[in-house]
Structure formats: structure tokens, C-alpha cells
Amino acid sequence: SDLREQEERGELLQPLIFVSLVLCSVLLYLKVSLMDPGFVKPEEEAEEAEGQGLVMPQVPGDIKLRRCGYCLVKQPMRARHCQLCQHCVRRYDHHCPWLENCVGERNHPLFIGYLSVQLVVLLWGGHVAWSGLYFQQSWEWLQHNILLLLSFLLIVIFTIVVLLLLVSHLYLISCNTTTWEFMSHHRISYLRHSELENPFDQGIILNLWGFFC
């Protein structure tokens, strides 16, 4: 009867939504960490994909595609070999130690979705933890609330980390560049020899549309 009364008052809706978000976050984490991030397949497939990378008019046409010295495949433009995954990854962004997988062409949008859902869960959890804290200047209060206080501090730290990650990735996506290209611009031939700082930038709207759609 108590559960029915709570349901009628709508008090069960928020916990159900929160649990659903946590479950969605876990499923996204498993999906991003276990899926193929865009591994470069045999050479004939890499060459087929290469036609799309060389149509960029701002990229010098005399840049030769290099053969990976580790897995011996001809790398498509914007691909990079990950020594931890033992594969070349298309549109390589970075290798995430928390996922034990690369973030690349195929799982990058899902990675952004995971960060977004995780941020909502952390903000909600932080709000719940904060609402349970009633500060008093006494040792007895600290003994009874130390775990809740530590939980809140951990949530704040993780929230800041996830927020910074999400904002930085959205900024790079809006510029149509990757973390690897942003950090190693001077070492990448198709960027170093380009007349433009970022030959792939088509404007914020087209960059976001091309990434998410």
C-alpha cells in the first residue's frame, strides 16, 4: 500500500529515471569499450576508404599515404597505429585507459553520448548527496556523515573531470579535428604541409552534422 501511495504521488518516478540513466551509462560504457573503434582492415579496404580522405581540396595532393611500420597496412588519412590495441584506427582520437579501447571513427559519437549521460548521473548524484548533508560544527556530526561527505567530494571531482572531457571533445568536434591531431599538429604530414591550419574544418554546423549525423 505504501508503494502504491508513493506511486500515486509520483515519488517513484525520479528513482526510476535515475536508475535508468545509470543503466544506460553502464550499457554505453560496455558498448564503447567492447566495440571496434574503426580498425583499419586489409589493404584493399583501406585504399577504398582513402578516396574519401583525399577529396579535401585544402590537403596537398602530393602527400603520400604511408604504410604502418607495425601492422603493415596502408594507413588512411587521419588514421594512426595504437600500440596498445595493436591496430591502426581510422580517425584516431586517443586511447582511453578507462575504456581499455581506442576512441576512433566508429565509437567516438557513442563516447560523447556516454560522457553526456555520465555527467547527468554525476550531477544528479551530487545533488542527492548534497541534500543529505546538514552541516554542524561537531565531531559527532562528522563521524556520522563522513562517508556521505567523502562521497560528495568524489562526485564533485569526477563531475569536473567528465565536464572538462566533454567540453574539450565538443570543441574539437566543432573544429573537425581530433585530440591526436590537436596535440601533434607539427608531426602530421597532411597538417604540417597544408596551407590551412585545419584543412578539414567546414564550419561549426557542418562539422557537428558530419560527426553526429
DSSP structure class, residue 185:
G
Q: State the pLDDT at residue 51.
A: 53
pLDDT tens readout for residues 74-127? 888 899 999 999 999 999 999 999 999 999 999 999 999 999 999 999 999 998
Give the HSE-up count for residue 181: Cα atoms under 13 Å, Cβ half-sphere.
24
Q: How many other C-beta atoms are found inside a 10 Å radius of the C-beta of residue 45?
A: 12
Judged by DSSP in three states, 75 sits in coil
Q: 66 with 151: CB under 8 angstroms?
A: no
Span 41-70, average pLDDT = 59
Confidence of residue 62 (pLDDT cuts 50, 70, 90): low
Give the span between the Cα atoms of 171 and 184, in whole angstroms: 17
Q: Would you kindly state where each structural domain of the chain is located, as residue ranges?
A: 2-37+99-212
The rounded distance, in Å, linking the Cα atoms of 146 and 143 is 6
Give the C-alpha separation, 149 to 126, whole Å: 10
Using a 10 angstrom Cβ sphere, with 0-12 exposed, 13-18 middle and 19 or more buried, the burial of residue 178 is buried
Q: Which of 24, 68, 85, 96 is catalytic?
A: 96
Distances (CA, A) of 198 to 23, 63, 186: 38, 15, 12
Under 8 Å between Cβ of 92 and 80: yes
The model carries a pTM of 0.83
pLDDT of residue 189: 82
**DSSP secondary structure letter of residue 58:** T
Q: What value does the mean pLDDT of the chain take?
A: 84
Per-residue confidence band for 188, with pLDDT thresholds at 50, 70 and 90: confident
| Structure-model confidence comparison of residues 194 and 178, the more confident one | 178
Residues 74 and 42: their CA atoms lie apart, in Å, by 9
Question: pLDDT grade, residue 46 (50/70/90)?
Answer: very low
What pLDDT score does 3 carry? Answer: 52
Report residue 28's pLDDT band, with 50, 70 and 90 as the boundaries.
Answer: very high
Residue 12 has pLDDT above 90, yes or no: no
Q: pLDDT tens-digit profile of 125-137?
A: 998 888 766 666 6
Q: Comparing 59-63, 144-148, 191-195, which segment has the lowest mean pLDDT?
A: 59-63
Closest CA to 118 of 98, 136, 101: 98
For this structure, is 68 an active site residue?
A: no
